[in-house]
Amino acid sequence: MLSSLAKRVMAAEVKRVPIPARGVDYRGKVVLAPMVRSGELPSRLLALQYGADLVWGPETVDRAMIGTTRRVNEALRTVEWFRTSSNNPHSANSEKENIIYRTFPAKEAGKLVFQIGTADPDRAVEAARLVAGDVAGIDVNAGCPKPFSTSGGMGAALLRTPDKLCAILEALVKNITPEFNIGISVKIRILETPAQTEALVRKLVATGITGLTVHCRTTPMRPRERAIRGQLRMIADVCHEAGVACLMNGDVESKDQGLKLADEYGADGAMIATAAEKNPSCFRTEAEGGTLPWQTVVEEYLKTCMRLDNRYGNTKYLLAQMIPGKESAYKRMTPCKSHEELCEALGFEHLLSEAKETDDRMGINLPAPSKASKKKKGRSNSSALAAGGKMADDRTDKPRKSLSERNIPSQKESEATTIALAG
């Protein structure tokens, strides 16, 4: 028998905002949430491999995207948006290349949603136009509660300025949808009262968006606090009145559970954050065997990272989320400073040759710089994304601009809010 969710998805009489030719319908989908650091390319590819219907990239600030250059990396089969910067104008060798965003078309085509951090309609359109031809949708982040986002009027700050948020969505719908044939969506949090939330949602669904995701927490709430689903059915009903798809987010731990909860509360699908960060095989249904052991997933993740030249600091950060802290492998992994060391520590001897090639290619197995050479330009690899921050394991000693100048959260903020950004 079909669930009520499946019946709603199939029902011809249900009102729907038309889905653009290159866009995606969020109905009936369980998707990967947008997460800083945890939403980089290798994590997205693993989520898709294990059954995610769609994947959101990490929030990328409009100012970080504007001014980038698009190129195809034939060796890695990726599409990259990058910029060069000069951190030391007095040095003859001071240019550094930063990759702000990248995709893997062979696996992500038609399934990747670009989430933008913005507080201005014109900048939102300018930034979205750069990437819209390579993604299946543009999503506006109106839920991040951290100061590095809200202080600029972005993220959850937009919930306090609904007219500005609506203006951003309307500008994207007017300019991006007809030019690139993709839909526009928004991700919000619930407000203090159902009446406030309903008033906001009614304004948002009138802008022409095709989808709305609601993180079932208020702005002050943190991931350790249980999601509040009491307003969810009302939000879904308001979305359906306007023909807009509604996804739910907050304490969803598996694909099966996501579909069940969406069915129970009248939503159209679900978004997974924390559980996917720890083990992306949570997208496997019970019929497919369910979640895999962490050892299996960690090996697959490490292989994916090496084949994509993922930034080492990001790779190690995610491994620290995926390997349980009480496991001896966690302690062995902690001091590692190269892929080769990681493979040795984790017992992946069959990957040592590939790990050494990766380290050599990325310049990781270089001798430690002398004091006299510490100011020389460090090597920047091809996965340093705008929202990814910097870890101590990154092999570069070159002075950098302040984080605020680059619209990037500090390491402390990033690690504390990986999942909060999924809101």
Nearest to 381 by CA among 370, 395, 393, 367: 395
The count of other CB atoms within 10 Å of the CB of residue 93 is 9
Place of tokens 């990726």: 78
- Rg, the chain, Cα only: 21
- Is 210 in contact with 185 (CB distance < 8 Å)? yes
Residue 289 corresponds to which tokens in the numbers above?
Answer: 């065997």
Is residue 144 annotated as a catalytic residue, yes or no?
yes
3-class secondary structure for the chain? Answer: CCCHHHHHHHCCCCCCCCCCCCCCCCCCCEEECCCCCCCCHHHHHHHHHCCCCEEECCCEEHHHHCCCEEEEECCCCEEEEEEEEECCCCCCCCEEEEEEEEECHHHHCCCEEEEEECCCHHHHHHHHHHHHHHCCEEEEEECCCCHHHHCCCCHHHHHHCHHHHHHHHHHHHHHHHHHHCCEEEEEEECCCCHHHHHHHHHHHHCCCCCEEEEECCCCCCCCCCCCCCCCHHHHHHHHHHHCCEEEEECCCCCHHHHHHHHHHHCCCEEEECHHHHHCHHHHCCHHHCCCCCHHHHHHHHHHHHHHCCCCHHHHHHHHHHHCCCCCHHHHHHCCCCCHHHHHHHHCCHHHHHHHHHHHHHHCCCCCCCCHHHCCCCCCCCCCCCCCCCCCCCCCCCCCCCCCCCCCCCCHHHHHHHCCHHHC
Catalytic residue of the set 144, 239, 305, 336:
144
Judge whether 23 and 349 are in contact, CB under 8 Å: no
Q: How far apart are CA 143 and CA 35, in angstroms?
A: 12
CA–CA separation, 294 vs 14, rounded Å? Answer: 41
- The answer to whether the beta carbons of residues 411 and 237 sit under 8 Å apart is no
Catalytic site positions = 144
